[in-house]
Structure 1
Amino acid sequence: MTSLHTDRVGWRIGDKVVVDGVTLTLRPGETVGLLGPNGSGKSTLLRLLAGVLTPTAGVVTLDGRPLAEVGRRATARRIASVEQHAETQTELTVREVVALGRIPHRRAWTPPTTADLEAVTEALRRTGLTDRSGQSWHTLSGGERQRTQIARALAQEPRELLLDEPTNHLDIQHQLDLLELVASLPVTTVIALHDLNLAAMYCDRLLVLRDGRAVMEGTPAEVLTPDLVERVYGVRTEVTHGPGHPVIRFLRPAARDASPPKRSVTSDGSTAP
């Protein structure tokens, strides 16, 4: 049984190919990490999965149906997205931002139902924002804004959750708390990450992208090898295997020889390089 699936999906803008022939099958309930350097196509692939972008090649399906056939509103009831940056000029409280996640479940101009209110309250609780619910969005720190967007997505009660670098701006404790929350949710999750160790700890499978193409897919132990990391990221690593997942240690580039250049003595007794 599959939920979201991409079949040789691609997206280009002008002559630039951003995503090139990526196939990915998501199994219900699993957490899949998207890895790759900046510009590798992670964010674009997430937007294709969400239906925000229409593929210029291939197809994205939900339960076997192309997203175009599923429709925007039905897709929004199933799939929630959290992008890297969110801004609004409107003066909203945290609760009001989170309540936006209920829009796909409501008819236009109808008041929120008891189910809407309960979903918002639960999302605030899960993300540790209950005491900030009446605070203005514009007064929040970057990390608090990110958690508010996570809460908005949870209020949507999705079956598929797409997250683009959700740990940006978060301190270590909140990074771990957030990923513990995401991993515990009964949803299918696709999450773009830069931190390879966090990906190893919390993802069931990894898909590595480079220049828009899929380089490798598999479990963290299969994917996160010194050869793969050097080939994709250009850095050397040592990989050990902790309880249940690999642990990556990055190696510093070899130091240049800092010793002073040797000098020779000329016939007149002076020195020269």
Structure 2
Amino acid sequence: MTGPAADGTAPGLRAGRVGRRAGGRFVVDGVTLAPRPGETVGLLGPNGSGKSTLLKLLAGVLGPSAGVVTLDGRPLAQVGRRAAARRIATVDQHAYTQNELTVREVVALGRIPHRRPWSAVSGDDARAVAAALARTGLTALADRSWHTLSGGERQRAQIARALAQEPRELLLDEPTNHLDIQHQLDLLELIAGLPVTTVVALHDLNLAALYCDRLLVLAGGRAVAEGTPGEVLTPALIERVYGVRAEVTDDGGRPTIRYLRRPPTADR
């Protein structure tokens, strides 16, 4: 947990016992999350556990039905969308545009929160876009059509767009979905090395163990475990949350999970 700032406020992006009701029930129920500056926090849990909803609450896309999301101690609703967008960047599972945009133009969308409507591109905007392209290895593809990119390249372009915002907090919703293992590793290596506070929803427990500093596990909308990968990813937790048996070994302080087949039933 992070401590208070010099003025007594809580630094960074925090969720305090947040809940979100939908369809007559809480899809997120009393979850608290306080990422430390610069760390990568992995959100884990089965489908329907509330990961995407929690990310939307942190981003201000949804408002909480209970609890509060704060940015430097101020409720996010009071910060304002434009000011929040200068601090918080998001990368969704699926990104698509029907417009014929180049990679550079897609990345430049990240500068919108920093510009006045209809204003010309500034030197700061151009420098931020160039830096984001370079950081994600896309400089050589900057003038390519976004539609011609592979899945991994599109995800990198979306991260570059987020980086062009020059955020201090980055939220990603299952960014490795539909990528082959090489692109999953490349993408998470990039994310883990960014100089921002990152909250990323993931399905793959081994990737979460490898790249995240801390994990928050959700089940049924509630937080059931939080801590380092070594503290959280135990056989008991995996069976409780995911309903599967697993062996967990320590690999230099990072757990490695090996899933076990179910024992044969009597009629097999």
TM-score, normalising length: structure 2:
0.93
Specify the SS of the correspondent of 1:207: strand
* Letter of the structure 2 residue corresponding to residue 40 of structure 1: S
2-structure distance, mates of 1:206, 1:111: 42
Specify the SS of the correspondent of 1:254: coil
By how many angstroms is 1:13 displaced?
A: 1.6
TM-score, normalising length: structure 1:
0.91
> How many positions carry a matched residue from both structures?
259
Note if contact 1:10-1:58 (Cα within 8 Å) is conserved in structure 2.
yes
The C-alpha deviation readout for 1:165-211, integer Å capped at 9, x for no partner, is 11123222222222222222221100100111111111111000011
Alignment correspondent of 2:68: 59
Alignment correspondent of 1:172: 181
Alignment correspondent of 2:197: 188
By how many angstroms is 1:73 displaced?
A: 0.5
Alignment correspondent of 1:28: 37
Alignment correspondent of 2:164: 155
2-structure distance, mates of 1:148, 1:256: 48
Alignment correspondent of 1:205: 214
By how many angstroms is 1:138 displaced?
A: 1.9
* Letter of the structure 2 residue corresponding to residue 236 of structure 1: R
Alignment correspondent of 1:80: 89
Structure 1 unaligned blocks of 5 or more: 260-273
Residues 1:105 and 2:114 aligned together = yes
Runs ≥4 in structure 1, deviation > 4 angstroms? none
Specify the SS of the correspondent of 1:58: strand
Structure 2 unaligned blocks of 5 or more: 4-10
By how many angstroms is 1:84 displaced?
A: 0.3
By how many angstroms is 1:142 displaced?
A: 2.3
* Letter of the structure 1 residue corresponding to residue 126 of structure 2: L
Which of 61, 86, 91 is the equivalent residue of 2:100? 91
* Root mean square deviation, CA, Å: 1.3
For the pair shown, the structure with the greater C-alpha radius of gyration is: 1
Note if contact 1:143-1:168 (Cα within 8 Å) is conserved in structure 2.
no
2-structure distance, mates of 1:73, 1:65: 15
Note if contact 1:10-1:20 (Cα within 8 Å) is conserved in structure 2.
yes
* Letter of the structure 2 residue corresponding to residue 4 of structure 1: L
Which of 45, 48, 57 is the equivalent residue of 2:57? 48
